[in-house]
Amino acid sequence: MDGEFVGPQSRGMETFESFESLVRAEFAPKNTYLNTASTGLLPVRAVDAMRAGVESVAAGQPQDMFADVEAARASFARLVGVPARRVAAGASVAVYTGLIAASLPAGAEVLTAEADFTSVVNPFHVRGDLKVRTVPLEAMAESVRPGTALVAVSAAQSADGRIADLAAIREAARTHGARTYLDVSQAAGWLPVDADAYDYVSSVAFKWLVCPRGVAFLVVPEDLGGLTPVFAGWVAGERPWDSCYGPVEELAHSARRFDESPSLFSYAGARHSLELIEQLGVDTVRAHDLALADRFREGLHGLGHEPVPAPGSAIVSVPGLGRHQSELSRAGIEVSDRAGNLRAAFHLYNTPTDVDRLLDALSGLSG
């Protein structure tokens, strides 16, 4: 990882130096990695923690990784602005979407965005007795109507980085009495999230939150949102170690009743990844990421390419160039091919040099 970092100059040189030193201490990719929208890189502190957890089990002296789950829960809660008691800890957005889908009455209308990520929408379809209505992302707010029970959407679209008009969607849902379900898997970590503004918020953590795979969260309302903990196991008990056998006598009074049995090694690392995001600050990360994305957009225009319009997004998608993904990978540049588009994602460990390397590579490609 070479090149100068793009820092939030308005916040002063001290902030920039702290950001740069923290990132350089934690990340050292051996390639030009611009694929965070698929998988974020792991910081050294998370790798070390996971290794220690694995070694403790190998030695027959397992460390208390359930404490890591609680620390990760609390850290994510702070990042999205809600109390930890409103956060469930699991492994999959699809599972939590399924939980919400199971809570809806037969015939309920769910409004979704065209081509949104499968985990956000498919559980509503497989119910078979819900009315799932799909509209263009830009039309979501105007498409909420009387009788709409739930509006489900990703804050930032996985395929191309477009950001939903969350304020308008939220207001339209409130006007018509609909609940809101927001997936922030492609946003949490670089885009400020106010989870308190929605009924339900889910996120995986292995992308922009730079956690290991196997970590996901669900934010529910204070009243638990009318959800039935249909997959509740022993960890969902108010006293988990007293809930190991037979039916759980007393479910957790908090969102922990919606916990999945945790992937402990993943949470051992996640605790430290989330701590790093808190240290850096989401606003600082956002300024860094967007400066790089804008640099790439400007360079694309110079090459005669027009990216999918996604202002204010750290994800840039370029129509027609996805077929070059394998060629770029062989050259040491990691991006994604999504529906024929080249998708580049810029995050805290990237530099202007990374941007320029991709632009140089694209300028040398045919077609």
CA angle 132, 133, 135 (to 5 degrees): 145
Intervals of CATH 3.40.640.10 along the chain:
66-278
Average pLDDT of the residues in 23-30? 96
pLDDT for residue 5 is more than 90: no
Average pLDDT of the residues in 224-240? 96
C-alpha neighbours within 13 Å on the C-beta side of residue 175: 12
Average pLDDT of the residues in 53-77? 97
pLDDT recorded at residue 185: 98
pLDDT recorded at residue 7: 46
CA nearest to 173, candidates 145, 200, 137, 135: 145
pLDDT recorded at residue 225: 94
pLDDT-derived band at 229, boundaries 50, 70, 90: very high
In the chain, pLDDT over 70 holds for what percent of residues?
Answer: 95
State the CB neighbour count (10 A cutoff) for residue 199: 20
pLDDT for residue 2 is more than 70: no
pLDDT for residue 9 is more than 50: no
CATH code given to domain 66-278: 3.40.640.10
Average pLDDT of the residues in 233-239? 97
pLDDT for residue 335 is more than 60: yes
C-alpha neighbours within 13 Å on the C-beta side of residue 106: 2
pLDDT recorded at residue 366: 54
pLDDT for residue 281 is more than 60: yes
What is the tens place of the pLDDT at every residue in 10-26? 444 455 568 999 999 99
Q: Kind and range of the H or E element at 362? A: helix 352-363
Q: Are 177 and 329 in contact (CB under 8 A)?
A: no
What is the tens place of the pLDDT at every residue in 112-154? 999 999 999 999 999 999 999 999 999 999 999 999 999 999 9
What does pLDDT average to over the chain?
95
Intervals of CATH 3.90.1150.10 along the chain:
9-43+281-363
Sheet strands (E) in 278-348 = 315-318, 333-334, 336-338, 341-345
pLDDT recorded at residue 8: 45
Rounded CA-CA distance 33/49 in Å is: 23
Query: What CATH number matches the domain at 9-43+281-363, 3.90.1170.50, 3.90.1150.10, 3.30.565.10, 3.40.50.720?
Result: 3.90.1150.10
